[in-house]
Amino acid sequence: MAAILAPVAWRDGHLEIIDQTRLPGELVFIRLETKEEVWQAIKELKVRGAPAIGIAAAFGLYLAVKDFPAQDKEELCTQLKKAAEYLASSRPTAVNLFWALKRVQEKVSGAEGLTVRELKELVLQEALSIQQEDESMCREIGRYGAELLKEVDAILTHCNAGTLATARYGTALAPVYYLAERGKIMHVFVDETRPLLQGARLTAWELKQAGIPVTLITDSMAAVVMSKGWVQAVVVGADRIAANGDVANKIGTYSLAILAREHDLPFYVAAPSSTFDLSLATGEEIPIEERDPQEVTHFGLRPVAPEGISVFNPAFDVTPHRYITAIITEKGILRPPYRESIRQMFFK
Protein backbone atom coordinates (compact mmCIF):
# COMPACT_ATOMS: atom_id res chain seq x y z
CA MET A 1 0.00 0.00 0.00
CA ALA A 2 1.30 3.47 -0.90
CA ALA A 3 2.15 6.02 1.81
CA ILE A 4 -0.81 7.96 3.20
CA LEU A 5 -0.59 11.75 2.87
CA ALA A 6 -1.14 14.00 5.88
CA PRO A 7 -3.80 16.60 4.95
CA VAL A 8 -2.94 18.99 7.82
CA ALA A 9 0.61 19.69 9.03
CA TRP A 10 2.50 22.32 11.04
CA ARG A 11 5.65 23.36 9.16
CA ASP A 12 8.13 26.16 9.86
CA GLY A 13 5.73 28.45 11.71
CA HIS A 14 2.68 28.01 9.50
CA LEU A 15 -0.15 25.57 8.90
CA GLU A 16 0.07 23.60 5.66
CA ILE A 17 -3.01 21.88 4.26
CA ILE A 18 -3.99 20.03 1.12
CA ASP A 19 -6.47 22.25 -0.72
CA GLN A 20 -9.24 19.70 -1.10
CA THR A 21 -11.22 21.90 -3.48
CA ARG A 22 -8.48 21.30 -6.07
CA LEU A 23 -8.67 17.51 -5.93
CA PRO A 24 -8.62 15.28 -7.89
CA GLY A 25 -7.34 17.50 -10.68
CA GLU A 26 -4.22 18.64 -8.86
CA LEU A 27 -2.54 18.08 -5.51
CA VAL A 28 -1.92 21.55 -4.09
CA PHE A 29 -0.52 22.39 -0.65
CA ILE A 30 -1.35 25.86 0.70
CA ARG A 31 0.12 27.86 3.59
CA LEU A 32 -2.18 29.34 6.21
CA GLU A 33 -0.53 32.06 8.30
CA THR A 34 -3.46 33.84 9.97
CA LYS A 35 -6.64 32.87 11.78
CA GLU A 36 -8.59 34.53 8.95
CA GLU A 37 -6.98 32.21 6.41
CA VAL A 38 -7.82 29.21 8.60
CA TRP A 39 -11.44 30.40 8.92
CA GLN A 40 -11.69 30.81 5.16
CA ALA A 41 -10.16 27.38 4.51
CA ILE A 42 -12.70 25.71 6.81
CA LYS A 43 -15.63 27.70 5.42
CA GLU A 44 -14.69 26.98 1.81
CA LEU A 45 -14.02 23.25 2.47
CA LYS A 46 -10.35 23.53 1.59
CA VAL A 47 -9.92 21.59 4.82
CA ARG A 48 -12.90 19.44 5.78
CA GLY A 49 -13.90 16.40 7.77
CA ALA A 50 -14.77 16.82 11.45
CA PRO A 51 -11.40 15.77 12.96
CA ALA A 52 -9.33 17.73 10.41
CA ILE A 53 -11.46 20.84 11.01
CA GLY A 54 -10.78 20.59 14.74
CA ILE A 55 -7.04 20.21 14.17
CA ALA A 56 -6.92 23.18 11.80
CA ALA A 57 -8.90 25.33 14.24
CA ALA A 58 -6.50 24.50 17.09
CA PHE A 59 -3.57 25.69 14.99
CA GLY A 60 -5.68 28.71 14.02
CA LEU A 61 -5.76 29.70 17.69
CA TYR A 62 -1.98 29.68 17.83
CA LEU A 63 -1.76 31.77 14.66
CA ALA A 64 -4.16 34.22 16.33
CA VAL A 65 -1.99 34.75 19.42
CA LYS A 66 1.61 34.02 18.41
CA ASP A 67 2.34 37.66 17.54
CA PHE A 68 -0.32 39.24 19.77
CA PRO A 69 1.37 41.66 22.23
CA ALA A 70 -0.32 40.41 25.40
CA GLN A 71 1.11 41.66 28.69
CA ASP A 72 -0.37 39.00 30.94
CA LYS A 73 -2.33 35.75 31.00
CA GLU A 74 -5.71 37.45 31.31
CA GLU A 75 -5.14 39.52 28.18
CA LEU A 76 -3.95 36.45 26.28
CA CYS A 77 -7.01 34.42 27.37
CA THR A 78 -9.27 37.25 26.20
CA GLN A 79 -7.63 37.18 22.79
CA LEU A 80 -7.91 33.37 22.67
CA LYS A 81 -11.62 33.60 23.46
CA LYS A 82 -12.22 36.12 20.69
CA ALA A 83 -10.27 34.03 18.20
CA ALA A 84 -12.13 30.87 19.24
CA GLU A 85 -15.51 32.55 18.78
CA TYR A 86 -14.42 33.72 15.35
CA LEU A 87 -13.14 30.31 14.23
CA ALA A 88 -16.24 28.58 15.64
CA SER A 89 -18.40 30.66 13.28
CA SER A 90 -16.90 28.96 10.20
CA ARG A 91 -19.12 25.84 10.29
CA PRO A 92 -21.87 24.85 12.76
CA THR A 93 -22.26 21.06 12.66
CA ALA A 94 -18.89 19.36 13.22
CA VAL A 95 -18.54 19.21 17.01
CA ASN A 96 -14.78 18.51 16.79
CA LEU A 97 -14.35 22.17 15.85
CA PHE A 98 -15.83 23.38 19.14
CA TRP A 99 -14.21 20.57 21.12
CA ALA A 100 -10.71 21.50 19.92
CA LEU A 101 -11.19 25.23 20.53
CA LYS A 102 -12.48 24.59 24.05
CA ARG A 103 -9.67 22.17 24.84
CA VAL A 104 -6.93 24.65 23.90
CA GLN A 105 -8.55 27.45 25.91
CA GLU A 106 -8.95 25.25 28.98
CA LYS A 107 -5.32 24.14 28.74
CA VAL A 108 -4.13 27.75 28.87
CA SER A 109 -6.56 28.92 31.56
CA GLY A 110 -5.52 25.98 33.76
CA ALA A 111 -1.79 26.65 33.44
CA GLU A 112 -0.13 28.40 36.36
CA GLY A 113 3.14 30.28 36.69
CA LEU A 114 3.94 30.56 32.97
CA THR A 115 5.04 33.64 31.08
CA VAL A 116 3.02 34.93 28.13
CA ARG A 117 5.63 33.49 25.79
CA GLU A 118 5.36 30.10 27.48
CA LEU A 119 1.56 30.22 27.32
CA LYS A 120 1.73 30.88 23.59
CA GLU A 121 4.02 27.89 23.19
CA LEU A 122 1.49 25.88 25.22
CA VAL A 123 -1.20 26.71 22.65
CA LEU A 124 1.01 25.36 19.87
CA GLN A 125 1.91 22.23 21.82
CA GLU A 126 -1.76 21.53 22.55
CA ALA A 127 -2.61 21.87 18.86
CA LEU A 128 0.19 19.44 18.03
CA SER A 129 -1.10 17.06 20.70
CA ILE A 130 -4.61 17.16 19.22
CA GLN A 131 -3.15 16.29 15.82
CA GLN A 132 -1.01 13.44 17.17
CA GLU A 133 -3.84 12.06 19.29
CA ASP A 134 -6.19 12.10 16.31
CA GLU A 135 -3.73 10.04 14.28
CA SER A 136 -3.47 7.57 17.16
CA MET A 137 -7.25 7.46 17.60
CA CYS A 138 -7.77 6.76 13.92
CA ARG A 139 -5.30 3.87 14.13
CA GLU A 140 -7.27 2.42 17.02
CA ILE A 141 -10.53 2.86 15.13
CA GLY A 142 -8.89 0.93 12.32
CA ARG A 143 -7.84 -1.85 14.69
CA TYR A 144 -11.28 -2.23 16.27
CA GLY A 145 -13.06 -1.87 12.93
CA ALA A 146 -10.86 -4.55 11.39
CA GLU A 147 -12.39 -7.07 13.78
CA LEU A 148 -15.83 -6.32 12.33
CA LEU A 149 -14.66 -6.35 8.71
CA LYS A 150 -12.00 -9.07 8.60
CA GLU A 151 -14.37 -11.48 6.81
CA VAL A 152 -15.82 -8.78 4.55
CA ASP A 153 -14.75 -8.55 0.92
CA ALA A 154 -16.30 -5.20 0.02
CA ILE A 155 -17.89 -2.22 1.76
CA LEU A 156 -19.86 0.84 0.69
CA THR A 157 -18.91 4.25 2.07
CA HIS A 158 -20.27 7.77 1.67
CA CYS A 159 -18.62 11.20 1.46
CA ASN A 160 -15.01 11.23 2.66
CA ALA A 161 -14.16 9.78 6.06
CA GLY A 162 -10.66 8.83 5.01
CA THR A 163 -7.26 10.28 5.68
CA LEU A 164 -8.21 13.59 4.05
CA ALA A 165 -10.77 14.13 6.83
CA THR A 166 -8.40 13.47 9.73
CA ALA A 167 -4.77 13.71 10.82
CA ARG A 168 -4.14 10.41 9.02
CA TYR A 169 -5.87 7.05 8.26
CA GLY A 170 -9.42 8.37 8.55
CA THR A 171 -12.37 6.97 10.46
CA ALA A 172 -14.61 4.95 8.13
CA LEU A 173 -11.62 4.05 5.98
CA ALA A 174 -9.26 3.35 8.89
CA PRO A 175 -10.18 -0.38 9.01
CA VAL A 176 -9.60 -0.61 5.25
CA TYR A 177 -6.10 0.84 5.58
CA TYR A 178 -5.39 -1.20 8.73
CA LEU A 179 -6.30 -4.46 7.00
CA ALA A 180 -4.44 -3.48 3.81
CA GLU A 181 -1.24 -2.95 5.82
CA ARG A 182 -1.66 -6.54 7.00
CA GLY A 183 -2.25 -8.04 3.57
CA LYS A 184 -6.06 -8.09 3.34
CA ILE A 185 -7.18 -5.88 0.48
CA MET A 186 -10.84 -4.93 0.60
CA HIS A 187 -12.85 -3.50 -2.30
CA VAL A 188 -14.55 -0.18 -1.59
CA PHE A 189 -17.65 1.11 -3.37
CA VAL A 190 -17.86 4.90 -3.08
CA ASP A 191 -20.96 7.05 -3.44
CA GLU A 192 -20.18 10.19 -5.43
CA THR A 193 -21.91 12.21 -2.64
CA ARG A 194 -23.82 15.02 -4.28
CA PRO A 195 -23.82 17.96 -4.37
CA LEU A 196 -20.11 18.56 -3.69
CA LEU A 197 -18.87 15.13 -4.77
CA GLN A 198 -16.60 14.41 -1.80
CA GLY A 199 -16.85 10.71 -2.59
CA ALA A 200 -15.95 11.10 -6.25
CA ARG A 201 -13.32 13.82 -5.81
CA LEU A 202 -11.73 12.80 -2.51
CA THR A 203 -12.44 9.25 -1.38
CA ALA A 204 -12.00 7.71 -4.81
CA TRP A 205 -8.79 9.73 -5.24
CA GLU A 206 -7.19 8.79 -1.93
CA LEU A 207 -8.10 5.10 -2.23
CA LYS A 208 -6.63 5.00 -5.73
CA GLN A 209 -3.49 6.73 -4.43
CA ALA A 210 -3.23 4.09 -1.69
CA GLY A 211 -3.67 1.19 -4.12
CA ILE A 212 -7.06 0.11 -2.72
CA PRO A 213 -9.54 -1.27 -5.32
CA VAL A 214 -12.35 1.25 -5.63
CA THR A 215 -15.56 1.50 -7.65
CA LEU A 216 -17.34 4.84 -7.93
CA ILE A 217 -21.15 4.92 -8.11
CA THR A 218 -23.75 7.67 -8.08
CA ASP A 219 -25.71 8.08 -4.86
CA SER A 220 -28.82 6.62 -6.48
CA MET A 221 -27.04 3.35 -7.38
CA ALA A 222 -26.46 2.22 -3.78
CA ALA A 223 -29.62 0.12 -3.57
CA VAL A 224 -28.73 -1.80 -6.73
CA VAL A 225 -25.20 -2.50 -5.47
CA MET A 226 -26.63 -3.80 -2.18
CA SER A 227 -29.27 -5.92 -3.91
CA LYS A 228 -26.62 -7.62 -6.04
CA GLY A 229 -24.66 -8.62 -2.95
CA TRP A 230 -21.58 -6.72 -4.04
CA VAL A 231 -21.02 -5.22 -0.57
CA GLN A 232 -21.32 -6.86 2.83
CA ALA A 233 -21.36 -3.74 5.02
CA VAL A 234 -21.79 0.04 4.96
CA VAL A 235 -19.24 2.12 6.87
CA VAL A 236 -19.51 5.90 7.28
CA GLY A 237 -18.01 8.62 9.43
CA ALA A 238 -19.76 11.23 11.59
CA ASP A 239 -19.71 14.95 12.26
CA ARG A 240 -21.61 14.79 15.54
CA ILE A 241 -23.11 12.01 17.64
CA ALA A 242 -25.79 12.74 20.24
CA ALA A 243 -26.01 11.08 23.66
CA ASN A 244 -28.57 8.55 22.40
CA GLY A 245 -26.46 7.46 19.40
CA ASP A 246 -28.18 9.52 16.70
CA VAL A 247 -25.55 10.48 14.11
CA ALA A 248 -25.17 13.57 11.94
CA ASN A 249 -23.17 12.91 8.81
CA LYS A 250 -23.01 14.06 5.21
CA ILE A 251 -26.41 14.37 3.51
CA GLY A 252 -27.43 11.01 2.07
CA THR A 253 -26.21 8.95 5.03
CA TYR A 254 -29.71 8.48 6.43
CA SER A 255 -30.88 7.06 3.11
CA LEU A 256 -28.03 4.54 3.12
CA ALA A 257 -28.92 3.41 6.64
CA ILE A 258 -32.50 2.67 5.56
CA LEU A 259 -31.27 0.81 2.48
CA ALA A 260 -28.83 -1.21 4.56
CA ARG A 261 -31.65 -2.26 6.90
CA GLU A 262 -33.79 -3.32 3.92
CA HIS A 263 -30.95 -5.45 2.54
CA ASP A 264 -29.97 -6.90 5.92
CA LEU A 265 -26.51 -5.32 5.86
CA PRO A 266 -24.66 -4.02 8.93
CA PHE A 267 -24.45 -0.24 9.07
CA TYR A 268 -21.36 0.93 10.95
CA VAL A 269 -20.41 4.45 12.03
CA ALA A 270 -16.72 5.14 12.76
CA ALA A 271 -15.80 8.18 14.84
CA PRO A 272 -13.40 9.28 17.60
CA SER A 273 -14.69 10.15 21.06
CA SER A 274 -14.26 13.86 20.24
CA THR A 275 -17.20 13.58 17.82
CA PHE A 276 -19.67 12.73 20.60
CA ASP A 277 -21.72 15.60 22.01
CA LEU A 278 -23.26 14.45 25.29
CA SER A 279 -24.88 17.85 25.79
CA LEU A 280 -27.42 16.89 23.12
CA ALA A 281 -29.99 14.27 24.14
CA THR A 282 -30.97 13.32 20.58
CA GLY A 283 -30.10 14.08 16.98
CA GLU A 284 -33.02 16.49 16.73
CA GLU A 285 -30.90 19.00 18.65
CA ILE A 286 -27.93 18.86 16.26
CA PRO A 287 -27.58 22.11 14.27
CA ILE A 288 -27.59 21.35 10.55
CA GLU A 289 -25.66 23.63 8.22
CA GLU A 290 -27.51 24.76 5.09
CA ARG A 291 -25.20 25.76 2.27
CA ASP A 292 -25.24 27.89 -0.86
CA PRO A 293 -28.08 26.93 -3.28
CA GLN A 294 -25.60 27.19 -6.15
CA GLU A 295 -24.05 23.91 -5.01
CA VAL A 296 -27.30 22.25 -6.15
CA THR A 297 -28.24 24.44 -9.12
CA HIS A 298 -24.79 24.14 -10.67
CA PHE A 299 -22.50 21.25 -11.55
CA GLY A 300 -19.16 22.91 -11.05
CA LEU A 301 -19.60 26.27 -12.75
CA ARG A 302 -22.26 25.04 -15.16
CA PRO A 303 -25.92 25.81 -14.34
CA VAL A 304 -28.13 22.69 -14.43
CA ALA A 305 -31.40 24.06 -13.02
CA PRO A 306 -33.81 26.87 -13.92
CA GLU A 307 -32.62 30.27 -12.75
CA GLY A 308 -34.29 31.38 -9.52
CA ILE A 309 -35.53 27.90 -8.55
CA SER A 310 -36.15 27.29 -4.84
CA VAL A 311 -33.44 25.08 -3.29
CA PHE A 312 -33.11 23.11 -0.05
CA ASN A 313 -29.44 22.29 0.54
CA PRO A 314 -28.64 20.85 3.99
CA ALA A 315 -25.04 19.70 4.28
CA PHE A 316 -25.92 16.90 6.72
CA ASP A 317 -28.73 14.62 7.78
CA VAL A 318 -29.30 12.72 11.03
CA THR A 319 -29.45 8.93 11.09
CA PRO A 320 -31.55 7.65 14.02
CA HIS A 321 -29.65 5.27 16.29
CA ARG A 322 -32.06 2.41 15.59
CA TYR A 323 -30.50 1.98 12.13
CA ILE A 324 -26.92 1.79 13.40
CA THR A 325 -25.46 -1.69 13.97
CA ALA A 326 -22.39 -0.45 15.87
CA ILE A 327 -20.29 2.66 16.44
CA ILE A 328 -16.53 2.10 16.10
CA THR A 329 -14.42 4.34 18.35
CA GLU A 330 -10.81 4.43 19.49
CA LYS A 331 -12.01 3.08 22.85
CA GLY A 332 -13.85 0.09 21.44
CA ILE A 333 -17.03 -0.91 19.64
CA LEU A 334 -20.30 0.51 20.96
CA ARG A 335 -23.54 -1.40 20.51
CA PRO A 336 -27.18 -0.73 21.42
CA PRO A 337 -28.56 0.49 23.72
CA TYR A 338 -26.36 3.44 22.78
CA ARG A 339 -27.36 5.78 25.56
CA GLU A 340 -25.94 3.24 27.99
CA SER A 341 -22.86 2.18 26.01
CA ILE A 342 -21.90 5.80 25.23
CA ARG A 343 -22.25 6.75 28.89
CA GLN A 344 -20.08 3.80 29.91
CA MET A 345 -17.40 4.78 27.38
CA PHE A 346 -17.08 8.25 28.87
CA PHE A 347 -17.69 7.62 32.55
CA LYS A 348 -16.50 4.11 33.36
Domain at 337, CATH number: 3.40.50.10470
1 inside domain: no
CA 284, CA 191: separation in Å to the nearest integer? 25
Q: What percent of the chain has pLDDT over 70?
A: 99
Q: Does the pTM of the predicted model rise above 0.85?
A: yes
Question: Does residue 189 share a domain with residue 130?
Answer: no
Residue finishing a domain among 135, 166, 187: 135
Domain assignment present for residue 143? The answer is no
Q: Is residue 108 part of a domain?
A: yes
Nearest-5° angle of CA 274, CA 177, CA 229? Answer: 100
Per the DSSP assignment, residues forming a β-bridge with 249 are 317
pLDDT digits (tens, 9 = 90+) for 114-165: 999 999 999 999 999 999 999 999 999 999 999 999 999 999 999 999 999 9
CB-count exposure of residue 104 (10 Å: 0-12, 13-18, 19+): buried
Q: Are residues 99 and 174 in the same domain?
A: no
Question: Is residue 291 one of the residues assigned to a domain?
Answer: yes
Task: Report pLDDT for 5.
Answer: 73
Provide the domain limits for residue 170.
Answer: 148-347
332: left (phi over 0), alpha (psi -120 to 50) or beta: left
Amino acid at 174: A
The secondary structure of the chain in percent helix, strand, coil, rounded to multiples of 5, reads: 45, 15, 40
Res 293 pLDDT > 60: yes
Question: Please, which contacts does 45-48 make with residues 24 or more away whose CB atoms are closer than 8 Å?
Answer: 45/20, 45/21, 45/196, 46/17, 46/19, 46/20, 46/21, 47/7, 47/8, 47/17, 47/18, 47/20, 48/20, 48/160, 48/164, 48/165, 48/198
Tell me whether residue 41 is in a domain: yes
Q: Which residues are catalytic?
A: 239
